[in-house]
Every structure is written in structure tokens, then in C-alpha cells.
Amino acid sequence: MPTAYEAALAKLKGSSENVEELKSTFPPTLKIHDKKGEGIGKYVSGVLKSRRMVLIKGKPAPVYTLKLSETNATATKKEGEKWVPAEVKTGDDVSLFSPTRLDRILKELGPGASVIIHYDGKKPIMTPRGEVETHMFTVHGSKSGKEFALTTENVAPTPEPTNGDKATPAVAAAGTPEADPFA
């Protein structure tokens, strides 16, 4: 009998999303926030290169690859089953796990956008499911010669699945490959 993880992976591999197992290789991963909301003031600056979905504890999660310009965040890489510190420098490719609201901004910008992502901490936000602590980010940058400054505070929460859709909210929010500029 398959484990919950294996069942979720099989289900997602049959969906329109390109989902990979977390065990696949990544460039070093930057940690600009954590579950407790610590790390206020951490930032990463670079150019968006790609987006992919991976499974973490049976749930899909967006991972972005950036060409690094500058950061004050710590970098780690996975060696076997452990995460160990990694050295990164300007020009290196780095990975960034993205919470839902940040994912919506980055996904809309698409590859080639120059961004500075600043972590602003956690803030209680009202959602359809009640008040939840949400990671807040400010994104500055430019794309196609146009400059922008966006905050995740103004991004809508994850919609509930509709029409009997059994997809998780993260999959429902991910959109279709046709609408995804990274696809």
C-alpha cells in the first residue's frame, strides 16, 4: 500500500502541474524567512530564471531559481538527508521556496524580471478561513523597462476549491500551465 506521500506524488504527476520530488537536485537554497516569522530584514536580489513545483510533506510547493546579485540571507544545500551551510556569490543560481502570496507576485512577473525580495515578518490577515499569521514580503524591481514595488499584504488569499474541485488550495491557486509565464 502506498504511503500518503507516494499517493500525493502519483496524483500530482497526473495533473497539469509539473511537480517533482523534493529529493531532486537544487541550487543552494536561500532562507529569507522561517515558520516563526524570524528573519525580518533578510533580502535577496537577482533575476528570476525559473519556477517549478515540488512536493514537501505531500503538498505542492513553488520553488524559484534566481541568478543571484546580492543577499544577506543564509544559504543551505542538501547533502544526503541533512541541510548544510553553502557558500553563494554574485552570479550563482539559488533556489527560493515561496509562500503562496509571494508566489502569486513572482509568477505574474515571469522569467527575466529583476527583483529585490525583502522579508517584512508575519502579520495576522483575515482569510475565508479566519485570521491566520501570514508571511509578508515587499518586492521591488523591473521588467521590460518598467519599475514596480509590490507588497504581499495586498495579494488575495488562497481561494477555496470550487465546483467540487478536490484539488488542494495550493494546487488550485497554482493556475494552469497556459497562464503560467514560467511554463
Residues 19-37: tens digit of each pLDDT: 555 445 678 988 888 777 6
Calpha distance 26→23 (Å, rounded): 9
Which one has a higher pLDDT value, 80 or 131? Answer: 131
Buried b (16+ CB within 10 A) or exposed e, 123-140: eebeeeeeeeebbbbbbb
Domain residue ranges of the chain, discontinuous segments joined by +: 4-179
Q: What mean pLDDT comes out for the span 136-147?
A: 86
**pLDDT the model gives residue 3:** 56
Residues 83-118: tens digit of each pLDDT: 899 999 999 999 999 888 899 889 888 899 999 999
Stretch (H or E) spanning 66 = strand 59-71
Which one has a higher pLDDT value, 76 or 144? Answer: 76
